[in-house]
Amino acid sequence: MTRSRTDRLRTADSRTPGSRTPGSRTPGSRTAGRDALRNAARAHLEGGGGVLLTGPEGIGRSTTVNQLADEFAARGHRVLRCAPASSDRDSPFLGLIDLLAAAGDAPLAGLAAQERALLEGALLRRTPPAGADPTTGRDALVLRIAVRKVLAALAGTCPLLLVVDDAQWLDEPTARVLLFLARRSVPGYAVLAALRTPLAPSDEGPQPDRATALELCPQPVRTLPLEPLTVREIADVLDAHGEGPWPPQLTARLHEAGAGNPRTALELSAALHAAVSSGVPLPDSSEPLPVPESLSRPLLERVGALPARAQQVLLTASAAVRPTVELLRRAGCRYADADVDTCVRHGLLRVRDHGTLNFPDPLTPLVLAARAPYALRMDAHRALAGAADDPVERAHHLARLTAGPDPAVADRLAEAAAAARRRGAPGTAARFGRLAAQYTPADGTPTGIGRRLTAAEDGLDAGDFGFARQLAYEVLREAVRPADRVRAWNVVVDSSGQAMSEVADVFPEAVRDAGRDPGLLAPLHYRMSWHAWMVGGSARRARDHAARAAGLAARAGDRRTEVLALTQQAALELFLGLPEAESTLTAALAAPHDAYAMSHHNGPIYLKHRFHLVHDQLEEARAELRTLVYTLRQRGSADCLSQCLIGLAQLEIQRGRCRQGLSMARQSLRIAERAGLSQGPAWYAVALAETAGGSLSQGLAAAEAARRHSEDDDDRLFLPRALHAEGRIRLFSGQYGQAAQLLRRTAEMESAQGQGDPATRRWHADLVEALARSGAVDEAESVGDRARAQAARLGRTGTLAALDRAAATVAEESGRLGAAAAGYEDAAGRLRAAGYPLEEARAHVALGRVRRRLGDEGASRAAFAQALRIFTAAGARAWVAGVRAERDRGEEAPFPHLDGNAWPERLSSTERSVVTRVAQGATNRGIAAGLTLSVKTVEAALTRAYRKLGAKSRVEITRIVMARPAT
């Protein structure tokens, strides 16, 4: 019998990860964040010179070095490698032996007798000449000249790359040879070196000299540090090595404990697997991760090297929630300043602002908590409990010192949770709230259940959905009061995030528990409104639920739920194009206010910025959002902050501030990853931002990720947005048929949901343009007319301006070039007046193309120049490159390019697409399917292309295409 969705949800966080795949522990290559670094290294090395990769042990230096070396070898470079170990430092010329091992004896044939004898002796290929010492004096010089000649001979046949991994272990004689070579240029010669840098000054082994390592590389040399991996990249590494998947929150903890180091995360994950395999349940957010011996032993050895007094200070600091020098002093560490300095010198502590302490290696407190003697740990907690003047700090230590239920300690813990909540630390509040519930005596009062539910709600605000869901189901197993049960069901629903399809069968149970109580039914109908929209895809049914929730909440005196429900109702009315939307929002904004609702991303302040947007009031919208984001950064939930950053990113893009938009979108994604939130919305924002201010290829990858996440979550609210983002990129890249397919799906989904205001989701103009460019001119005109009627009825000026540009595209594809040029000029002016610079610049680009087709090269270049000025000021990098290339090339082409060749201006976009596929061997029927055209349209386009290109057959078409230079 299959389990219900609710059953699956109940057990989701207790699952055991999949079977592990045996294999290497070397960090894998599925780390998208390293792509940019490899690209930078590759581009630099192609011009000669050197690249030095730096980073701590386990960060992935060797993986990156090997990937680059393999890429260069595959492209025809000769790659000579060495990777010395710590034991090789005292073996003269061992690095040189490894480097030249693959070169063989042939390159030595051109050396003078003495040069060859010394080199072969150093390489241990023959007995060195009597009395010769290739490490000093004249013999050393002769040897270095010989090596240079050998490398020059090798580089004369193909480009040469020397790879030195772990340069800190390179033997000194080899290092001196490479220093000599770096100062004397060898044509076609480059060096890729990697240097291990310590996490802290006391790391074992020699302290590497970065300056010396740099000198191994010929000029110009570039240093590229390998940064810690993101949560997503750590998850990819774990999956690639069979160490996952873990629940998102647990993956985030592995990332944090390992400081983004892939090797450390792999070892922690292996220890976690071993614990789970032995029957130990997965640790929750308040329990420590198991640390394997391979990681704990080096740390304990470093701690053991400290004086006894400094060890005590370190242990006390590791037991504190927020250690400071002053707290340690009050806790009995009389010489705290001196002992902290000792720990700092050994790299075990770091002093931050106002005397706050933290650990350079986040494993240190975990290891000390697990390995220090119990009595010493309790002494530290006892001293800190007496010394702490902060309720959170004091409660933490009292809990450690108390065994079993204790009402006084439970009250202290509840006070600490409230203090953490006020400070904007919901994760800390959740942890203390659960502890408060555990220390609450089971005397039949509802206090313990209430504290668990409060902790679960704090867990939601912290983004710890698994923690919240676990507590909610604990309550549902015990609670009999309808209020407690409905509150727990609400937590279950909210913990589903964007994947609300998983909780469809929760609502009937929750409604039964609520009975006829309006105070219990109101929050349920509010959540059913979201379910009807996100999963059911019906904005009208969702509005009915929201209106009912608002009415029930008003009867019950629940202002928070009333405000949230009114906000949801107003949002749906705006989407549906209903005139009462404004008055509903006004009711939500009216006093009395609820602080939680007013600062929530589903609250009226956030929605107010969207009303500004449909009226093209971008500055007012930005002011609302910036204030809200500032508040949420101080004390808000991860989900709210992530969603508001998404909105701010979109707004900055619309205002033509691409760099800022990209920064906001990436911040949103990092928050979603760290908190284990649904990532579809954040990837959607990244797709928009990359398309505007990054690169189209990265934007496409982000859009595809947004679509996958939304499909996995069955999220019909964000799925059409993801499809729109992907369709725009395909449109800008000249992939008109694919763009039209994606944008048609967007239109179908949004129309089925009941969209009546085209300014709420602005896909209409893009769909018109994609349809027109792909040859479906009549359909494009029909879509544009319907959208124009809606926008005109509601007075949506900016949307009408974008539709004007799309109408000009229809005219262009219909052969009415004069009308198209006039339309683009008018649309550009109206978009400028409405305050949409990027949309205006798109109109100038299209105008430049049409003016060129009309033979007015001066006006064409002027239009391109205007587009360039706007895109440059906005920081739209990919657009700048595309416009500049198109202007200078003097030919029409898809903009900017993901693929395809440039084509003469006399071919229309549809004709170019058809001709390209003919050259690839596609049949007319296959072309029609790929471009979503009729076979008749393909035949007509091909006939016109034959005439314009002077070709008489498909063979001649193919020959013309193959002869064109690639762009």
Task: Dump pLDDT digits (tens) for 546-595.
Answer: 999 999 999 999 999 999 999 999 999 999 999 999 999 999 999 999 98
Contacts of 7 (CB under 8 A, 6+ apart): none
Residues of the chain with pLDDT > 70, as a percent, come to 90
d(CA 430, CA 144): 65
Q: How confident is the model at residue 962 (pLDDT cuts 50, 70, 90)?
A: low
The two structure tokens encoding residue 546: 């929201």
Count other Cβ atoms within 10 Å, centred on residue 953: 9
Q: Which helix (H) or strand (E) segment is 868 a member of?
A: helix 857-874
Q: Could you tell me the sign of the dihedral formed by the alpha carbons of 227, 228, 230, 232, in that order?
A: positive
Q: With contact defined as beta carbons under 8 Å apart, do 358 and 350 qualify?
A: yes
Q: With contact defined as beta carbons under 8 Å apart, do 6 and 505 qualify?
A: yes
pLDDT at 202 over 60: no
* pLDDT at residue number 28: 37
Q: Which residue has the higher pLDDT, 284 or 32?
A: 284
Can you spell out the DSSP letters for 915-951?
HHHHHTT--HHHHHHHHT--HHHHHHHHHHHHHHHT-
pLDDT at 180 over 50: yes
d(CA 381, CA 394): 9
Q: With contact defined as beta carbons under 8 Å apart, do 732 and 691 qualify?
A: yes
What percent helix, strand, coil does the chain show, rounded to 5?
A: 70, 5, 30
* pLDDT at residue number 905: 45
Mean pLDDT of 373-377: 91
* pLDDT at residue number 832: 96
* pLDDT at residue number 207: 44
Q: Which residue has the higher pLDDT, 8 or 830?
A: 830
* pLDDT at residue number 37: 83
* pLDDT at residue number 779: 95
- State pLDDT tens for residues 715-733: 888 899 999 999 999 999 8
User: Lowest-confidence range among 157-171, 639-653, 821-835, 889-903?
Assistant: 889-903
The two structure tokens encoding residue 596: 């939680």
Q: Could you tell me the sign of the dihedral formed by the alpha carbons of 421, 425, 430, 433, in that order?
A: negative
Q: How far is CA 439 from the centre of its chain?
A: 39
Q: How confident is the model at residue 3 (pLDDT cuts 50, 70, 90)?
A: very low
Mean pLDDT of 696-716: 86
- State pLDDT tens for residues 936-961: 777 778 877 777 776 767 767 766 76
Q: Rounded to 5 degrees, what are φ and ψ at 528?
A: -65, -30
pLDDT at 967 over 50: no
Cα-based angle 869, 872, 877 (whole degrees, multiple of 5): 140
The two structure tokens encoding residue 663: 């920064």
Residues of the chain with pLDDT > 90, as a percent, come to 52
Q: Rounded to 5 degrees, what are φ and ψ at 350?
A: -140, 135
SS3 of residue 78 by DSSP: strand
Mean pLDDT of 900-915: 60
* pLDDT at residue number 898: 37
* pLDDT at residue number 930: 67
* pLDDT at residue number 52: 92
pLDDT at 776 over 60: yes
Query: Residue written as tokens 């203090």?
Result: 419
Q: How confident is the model at residue 909 (pLDDT cuts 50, 70, 90)?
A: low
d(CA 827, CA 830): 5
Mean pLDDT for the chain? 86
* pLDDT at residue number 941: 80
For the CA atoms of the chain, what is the radius of gyration?
33
Query: Residue written as tokens 């010179």?
Result: 49
Q: How confident is the model at residue 9 (pLDDT cuts 50, 70, 90)?
A: very low
Helix 35-46 × helix 61-74 angle, to 10°: 50
Q: With contact defined as beta carbons under 8 Å apart, do 303 and 311 qualify?
A: yes
Cα-based angle 272, 278, 281 (whole degrees, multiple of 5): 60
Q: How many residues appear in the chain? A: 967
User: Lowest-confidence range among 67-76, 153-162, 605-614, 884-893?
Assistant: 884-893
**Per-residue DSSP letter, 225:** E
pLDDT at 483 over 80: yes
Q: With contact defined as beta carbons under 8 Å apart, do 849 and 892 qualify?
A: yes
* pLDDT at residue number 279: 87
